[in-house]
Amino acid sequence: MLRSRTALGGMVTAPHHLAAQAGRDILRDGGNAVEAMIAAAATIAVVYPHMNAIGGDGFWLIAEPGKDPVAIRACGGAAGAATPDFYRQQGHAAIPSRGPLAALTVAGAIGGWIKAADIATGIGGKVPLERLLADAVHHARAGVPVTKSQVELTTTKMAELKDVPGFVDTYAANGIPAIGDVLKQPALGATLEHLGKVGLDDFYRGDIARSNANGLAAVGSPIGLGDLESYHAKVMTPLSVRLSAGTVFNMVPPTQGVASLMILGLFDRLGVKAGDGFDHVHGLIEATKRAFIARNNHVGDPDRMTIDPMALLSDENLAQEAAKISMQTAQPWPHVAKPGDTIWMGAVDANGVAVSYIQSIFWEFGSGIVVPETGVLWQNRGASFTLHDGPNQLGPGRLPFHTLNPAMARLNDGSVLTYGTMGGEGQPQTQSAVFTRNVLFGQDLQEAITAPRWLLGKTWGDETTTLKLENRFDPALIDKLKSAGHAVEVVGPYEDMMGHAGGIRLRSNGVMEGATDSRADGTVAAI
């Protein structure tokens, strides 16, 4: 039987083992969970570049013992020059997904590290920044073995990335790499070393900012130095929903955090008594449909939204929406799916500080742009904007819709659960599967993550909008879902499209239970 890893001294879970170990080593050096996560975030930006980079965005939930979490929104807005007319004048009816014109939003991730470092200091953190970035610097300079997922995504996306400035030189200089080839990123290593010595703010208002701005301008990106200089991440109050098992927290817009919470709030009202049967899977799928409809209608830049997202999580709204769910018949689908490639990581320290963190460049390898002077791979998050009116219309300084949403729960039994996943549209779905299996139906956390998963809609560039089920599900369940009207597509046993989930549950007695996803390249590292 699958069992979670357990420890008392601290724990980090990540979809790449070197990131988890980097965070664990900071805990071993006396750092807290927030400091450990900064180290893990820097490291995974080096060793897992197809999924994230320091040229991307990030979102944090940080909880001290006995306190509700605080959120850090570290997503950059659109450049001042990025307007619908700017793209229309260049002959585009939609924002390009790759290349210089896709690199149109400020990279917010390091701004989030800045705010996180302030919080870390406030709870006693004393680990020098240079030490927090040391593992990342080392792996960038010495190199890191290329993973299977990086090879596969380099192969499948090469046609659309091969002409993007800096991509081939950085990630395929000798052709598409093989598994185990060594990837060295000396320019990125120098950038991280410089930031460790002079401070993270240099990324926005210093030498690194100027180098990035010059490099982006040289290839035609609308991002300018002024856009970088004006950026600051924000500390905020997260969204929350009260369930029968406790309170669950997630990120505010422009993320789809409200959808993740809606799914759980709706499912909590369906009265399902057992896990992994028809009622469980069907109920969560139908709750997902209701939540995604609300998300698509309302979520975008919070300054342009016409509804308070907490209104969607009110008892009244959840009761009304739950009443629209049939426990016998599938609601017709599809709808327009939201893609995204991302990493999620969690950390807990011996003092009970818990972190849920997600870092992303949107699509695999983001825009594909690598600034040669700094080695920074830039995101294409701005490709999620639209050029037509609505809450997600492109405009200077506006925040694009994000699939990113880290999750955390304070449960009635006194435990804290930090959990999450990558996978675009799949994030809320996988979160709901993991949470309900572990919290509501008593499965071990590792078992809950390893168990077969489903995905409603498309992700990772897939063109089908079916209900995808891993083939490890009971055939009788698959048949029953088909009979209920679900457009079922059976896929392989451990598919990347199902996300790379992880979680840590801190029990009231101080025992930490950690899990990682066999679909990724990660581990649980602990002391």
> Cα separation of 97 and 340, whole Å?
12
Q: Cα 442–443–449 angle (5° rounding)?
A: 140
At 236, which helix (H) or strand (E)?
strand 234-236
Q: Give the other-Cβ count within 10 Å of 182's Cβ.
A: 10
Determine the Cα–Cα distance for residues 513 and 519; give it in Å rounded to an integer. Answer: 19
Q: Determine which helix (DSSP H) or strand (DSSP E) holds 158, and give its type and residue range.
A: helix 148-161
CB 496 within 8 A of CB 148: no
Query: Euclidean distance between the first and final Cα of the chain, in Å?
Result: 23
Give the residue among 15, 60, 137, 54 at the shortest CA–CA distance from 379.
Answer: 54
**C-alpha closest to that of 77 among 300, 305, 365:** 300
Residue 161 burial (10 A CB sphere; 0-12, 13-18, 19+): buried
Write the CB contacts of 73 (distance below 8 Å, at least 6 apart in sequence): 59, 108, 112, 233, 234, 236, 251, 252
Neighbours of 293 (CB within 10 A): 16
State how far Cα 300 lies from the chain centre: 17
The one catalytic residue in 13, 43, 342, 403 is 342
Concerning whether 342 is annotated as a catalytic residue, the answer is yes
Which phi and psi (to 5°) does residue 45 adopt? -65, -25
Q: For tokens 């709204």, name the residue.
A: 317
**DSSP annotation of 133:** T
Which two three-digit tokens encode residue 422? 């990558």
Q: Catalytic positions, please?
A: 342
